[in-house]
Structure 1
Amino acid sequence: MIYLIIILVCVLLYLFVEYRLHQRNVNSIPIRIHINGTRGKSSVTRLISAGLRAGNMKTFGKTTGTTPRMILENGNELPIIRKGPPTILEQIKTVRTAAKRKCTILVSECMAITPEFQWITAQKMIKPTIGVITNARIDHSEMGNNIIDTTKSLANTIPFNKVCITADPDPYKIIQHTAETRNSKFIKLTKEEIESVATDGFLYFEHKDNIALALKVCEQVGVDRDIALQGMRTCYPDTGALRIFQLKFGKKNVDFINAFAANDPESTSTILRALRDRYSKEYKQIIILNSRQDRMSRSWMLIEMLKNEQFDKLYLIGRRTGELIIPINKYNLDKSKIENVGYLTGERFNEIFSNIPYQTFYIIGIGNIGDNGNEIMSYIKNKLRDTH
């Protein structure tokens, strides 16, 4: 029995020392920015880090997106190698690394999903001086099955007595109420602030609300808006970001936009409309919807979303595409614009777009990156290598 007591005391002592060391590391970083939200967390983390570096701020960034990375103060990146499944304890190492490198700013993407872990990572591990919520949309069931529960879950990361910034309209004012209850300054971007953002000069397709949100954070820290924007234009995108690939089919130069990662209807709709604004009216919008065997409900939701979109052609690729005729009929989509391709090989991809009757068009891939989406992206990247 005495041995068990000794072991328990040693464990408790170890945990106490670790906690005190972590608190010392946290306190050594004056500005700590925590990024939460349903979409855009990795992109906003990268944009803020780049903007602050441009303002000569010694900034350490950490993303948990498609490929988790540590973004060093000089802009170089190191991959995060995990020996097992991701755990929120990773954030303790993040703080320790930033403190060891004597960084004055930490910009960290939230990696927790459940409401309880979101609270712990923000309030106990990062202790943000600025809490950012990109947006609130229904995604992970762990956060709730409706927008109110999802927003409440995200609001767990809002700091006490500090600053909260969001680009989400939040019609229920949950974010604002939580911030005010915690005596934190609440800043919400206006529609005008978002729309006025210039997206030219970026190395990839970036959403205006992500840029506007990152600029607002940089301004709060004290970096001039123009300087921050200049830094953001040099920002290297996350793996899951919207990349534009310039392809050639015969004499046709065609942009392919990889939006497979934006697999919820609201995000996809926003992208489709942003692309229509980006390209002139003579460009036809061609959509490839990748359907996964185990994500049919998501494909159905995207078909429902497309009833309100102004696309010129829709190709259904992937698995179980024949079943999508049900939502197509239900939502009365124009079947003359739709072609059921099934599983799409690279050779068939090249054949379709070499022979398509349009001269000026762009292609956007939506639905899911898995399975057929990965095959198409591999083909596109190999096609680019062969032409350079």
Structure 2
Amino acid sequence: MIFVFILLALTITAGLFEYLYHINSVKSVPVRIHVNGSRGKSSVTRLIAAGLRAAGKKVIAKTTGSAPMIIFEDGSEEPLSRRGKPNIKELVDFFRIVRKRKVDAVIVECMAILPELQKVTERSIVKSTIGVITNVRPDHIGEMGNSLKEIAEAISLTIPRKAVLFSSENRFLDLFRKKAQLLKTQFNPEELPFPTAQEMKSFPYLEHRENVALALGVCKFLGIERETALEGMHKAEPDIGVLRIHRIEEDGRVIEFINAFSANDPESINVIWDRVKKRHEKKIILINTRRDRIIRSKQLGELVAKKMKASSYLVTGSYVRAFIRSALKAGLPREKLINLEGNTVEKIYRTITDFADRKTLVFAMGNFVNFGWEITKYFTERAEEIAYSVEI
């Protein structure tokens, strides 16, 4: 019995010591930025880091987007190796790395999904001096909430105490403002400095103005000149899943492959679709599904049937019947739907090229993880022009 008591006491002491060490690691960084939201977290994290680097600040960032990365002071990147599923405990190890490098600022993309874990991430691990909320979209329904309001409430759990909060989400500004006031946090200190159309053209990929505005707002608050911050952002390496258009020429035909995999909720996908759908008359939509994302598959099936008019709809991945049933029920013509579940990437590519006209737009959407990444890699390796940009 005494041995058990001693063991328990040692465990508690070790845990307390580890937590105190973590708090000291956190406090060793004067500027801590926590980026949350449904879409655009990785992009905003990278943009803020790039803007601060351009001004000579020592910055380390951590993303958890299409591929989790640590971005170091010189802009170099290192993939984050994981054993099993993502766990917020990896942030503790991240801050140990940060402490040793004595940086000016750290930017962290929120990796938690469940509301209670989002709160723990902010209150106990990151303790940010600046919070950022990109937007609220119908993603992770059930895990984060069953409505946009509930999802917004979940995301608001990362608003920091006695700090500063930036957000470009107009629908829930009042909610975020009230939450910030309760926490004695300043909300949107100034009007967000949206980039001009000309400034957006300098990005070598399809970036969203709201993302750039948030990053510019944070940089301005930290005393960085707009031109300096933008110069760094234009040169920054984007997330692997960032929205890009890849131009492929084969047998006298031009195929524009749009990688929209990272925008996997209906609202975000529809925004992108509206911006690019007029590029070519012939359009093929490629959907990649996952067995563990059945609700999302059903949402996407209804979306393409009602709002995304195309010549053909190619479905791949796993458990595609959830998508197919939803799409057919919503009115999608069966003859336009092609089930490619179980086919190789090569077969999918060949099917698309066989269907393509002289100029064809291929819109890839759904899930990026695993097979979505393989599809993207296969197409981009055959692209003559990468990051073929359009004004958005």
Q: TM-score, normalised by structure 1?
A: 0.86
Structure 1 residue ranges without an equivalent (≥5): none
1:113-159 per-position Cα deviation (integer Å, ceiling 9, x unaligned): 22222112111211111011111223222222222221111111101
For 1:348 and 1:4, the matched residues in 2 are separated by 61
Q: Give the 5 Å matches for 1:300-311.
A: 300-307=298-305, 309=307, 311=309
Aligned ranges 1:151-170 → 2 under 5 Å: 151-170=152-171
Once structures 1 and 2 are overlaid, which stretch shifts more, 136-145 or 60-69? 136-145
> What aligned pairs does 1:116-195 form with structure 2 within 5 A after superposition?
116-140=116-140, 141-171=142-172, 173-187=174-188, 193=194
1:351/1:4 Cα in 2 relative to 1: closer, same or farther (>3 Å)? Answer: closer
* Residue matched to 1:232: 233
Contact 1:166 1:188 in 2 (8 A): no
After superposition, give the CA deviation of every residue in 1:64-109 in whole Å (9 maximum; x if it has no partner).
2232211111111122222344322221222222121010101011
Quick check: 299-308 or 327-336, which moved more? 327-336
Counterpart Cα distance in 2 of 1:237 and 1:18: 34
In the aligned structure 1, how far is the partner of 2:251 from the partner of 2:154? 50
Q: Deviations over 1:46-75 (max 9, x none)?
A: 111111111111111011223221111111
Q: Mind listing any 5+ residue stretches in structure 2 that lack a counterpart?
A: 385-392
User: CA distance change for structure 1 residues 312 and 304 in 2, over 3 Å: closer, same or farther?
Assistant: same
Contact 1:291 1:320 in 2 (8 A): yes
Higher RCO, Cα 8 Å, sep 6+: 2
Structure 1 residue 310, shift from structure 2 partner: 5.5
SS of the equivalent of 1:247 reads strand
8 A contact 2:29–2:103 mirrored in 1? yes
Alignment of 1:26-45 (within 5 A): 26-45=26-45
Going from structure 1 to structure 2, the CA distance change for 1:6 and 1:22 (only over 3 Å counts) comes to: same
Q: Mean Cα displacement is larger for which, 126-135 or 230-239?
A: 230-239
State how far apart, in whole Å, the 1-side matches of 2:119 and 2:18 are: 19
Matches of 1:303 and 1:189 in 2, distance apart?
40
Deviations 1:179-218 (A, max 9, x none): 1111211129979937868432323322222222212111
Cα-to-partner distance string for 1:258-313 (whole Å, 9 max, x where unaligned): 1123221111111112324xx65x55443222344554543332232235535442
Q: 1: distance between equivalents of 2:191 and 2:303? A: 25
Deviates more, 1:23-32 or 1:171-180: 171-180
2:115–2:154 contact (8 Å) kept in structure 1: yes
For the aligned residue pairs, the C-alpha RMSD in angstroms reads: 3.1
Separation (CA, whole Å) in 2 of partners of 1:97 and 1:47: 21
SS at match of 2:258: strand
- CA, structure 1 residues 323+347, in 2 after alignment: closer, same or farther (shift >3 Å)? same
Partner residue of 2:285? 287
Q: How many residues align?
A: 382
> Kindly tell me: are residues 291 and 334 of structure 1, through their superposed partners in 2, closer, same or farther at Cα, counting changes over 3 Å?
same
The 1:89–1:350 alpha-carbon spacing in structure 2 relative to 1, beyond 3 Å, is closer
Question: What code does the residue aligned with 2:61 have?
Answer: G
The percent of aligned pairs where both chains have the same amino acid is 36
Task: Report what 1:242 is aligned to.
Answer: 243
